[in-house]
Amino acid sequence: MSYQKIVPHLWFDTEAMEAAEFYADLFPDSRVMYSNIFEQTPSGNAEQVDFEVMGYRFMGISAGPYVTKNPSISFMLVFSKDEQTEFQKIWETLAEGGRTLMPFQKYDFSEMYGWAEDKYGVSWQMYRTEEPPGEIENRVIPTMIFVNDNLGKAEEAMNFYMDIFSNSKTDGVYYYPGNMEPNLTDHIMHGQYELENQCFALMDSAEKHEFDFSEGVSLMVKCEDQKEIDYYWDKLSHVPESEQCGWLKDKYGVSWQILPKVMDEMAENGTPDQLRRVTAAFLKMKKFDVVELEAAYEGP
């Protein structure tokens, strides 16, 4: 895909690199890109890993046992009929040591589908499309599930996000039919939409769930400059006490990280001393200040 402005961020205790290597070995067109260590954070030395799953960029961090991932944000993997045998094996590997939420089998909405939480706590939905492999436009789709106090807010949230991000549109919204109580006919069964030309999905679920959105899976927005950082911070931040080190929570409890794109270059190219200075600088910040970060990187 073209430049990916919104990057999912996965929080691990100590296993970020292990998980990234596991995904790189398991999925086609996947790789570990680079890693680095941020020293003397509140979690100690935190390892950050950039990797791709089926050409889609992720970031993971080993930052201690303070946050738990859950299925509130999962990742839908789209595969074709021709790839079903390969993805059957991928499913079996993912489910081993993890937890099956919906078995890999035929459903009314797909010839083959499954939902599993892997051994690292990351949730994956596997969905077979009837499109041939070369015509599948979106192979990885972050998917939010609106439950508990958020029940019935999926459509509102979709419109909220589309108002904030450019290059946005809906790709189809489907509501629950009248025979699927406790879900109501104005609840979204599956909605697909685009932000910054990236595909996302969401749904409501009235079933009883023991989870809500958490920092375990957050969404990073890579900003061009301070003006963009200020814009997204103002539009998204809703919980002042959650503002820290570029992190915020929106009104639905979804965690976002609003970061300057230049931090990618710092992380990839910086020396240990430069990274130590940048870390010391951003640990004091709520919203990131690009000028201060660049000054810390350049040093005295």
Residue 16 main-chain phi, psi, to 5 deg: -60, -50
> Is pLDDT of 66 > 70?
yes
Place 1 in a pLDDT band, splitting at 50, 70 and 90.
very low
Instruction: Please give the pLDDT value at position 133.
Output: 80
The encoded tokens of residue 185 equal 């006919």
**Which residues are within 8 A (CB) of 271 and not within 5 positions of it... i.e. 6 or more apart?**
none
pLDDT tens profile 211-267: 999 999 999 999 999 999 999 999 999 999 999 999 999 999 999 999 999 998 898
pLDDT tens profile 73-90: 999 999 999 999 999 999
- Tell me what the pLDDT averaged over the chain comes to: 94
At residue 227, what is the residue type?
Answer: K
> Is pLDDT of 43 > 80?
no
> Mean pLDDT over residues 107-112, rounded?
92
Instruction: Please give the pLDDT value at position 135.
Output: 87
Instruction: Please give the pLDDT value at position 108.
Output: 87
> Is pLDDT of 2 > 70?
no
Residue 102 three-state SS:
strand
> Mean pLDDT over residues 32-49, rounded?
85
Q: What is the pTM of this model?
A: 0.95
> Is pLDDT of 40 > 80?
no
At residue 69, what is the residue type?
Answer: K
Place 186 in a pLDDT band, splitting at 50, 70 and 90.
very high
> Mean pLDDT over residues 38-64, rounded?
90
pLDDT tens profile 187-196: 999 999 999 9
The single residue listed with the structure tokens 């909220």 is 160
d(CA 247, CA 257): 4
Query: For residue 231, with 0-12 CB atoms within 10 Å meaning exposed, 13-18 middle and 19 or more buried, which class applies?
Result: middle
- Which domains can be identified in the chain, with CATH numbers? 6-68+213-298 (3.10.180.10), 73-146 (3.30.720.110), 148-206 (3.30.720.100)
Query: For residue 96, with 0-12 CB atoms within 10 Å meaning exposed, 13-18 middle and 19 or more buried, which class applies?
Result: exposed
The single residue listed with the structure tokens 């998204």 is 236
> Mean pLDDT over residues 143-153, rounded?
97
> Mean pLDDT over residues 96-106, rounded?
95
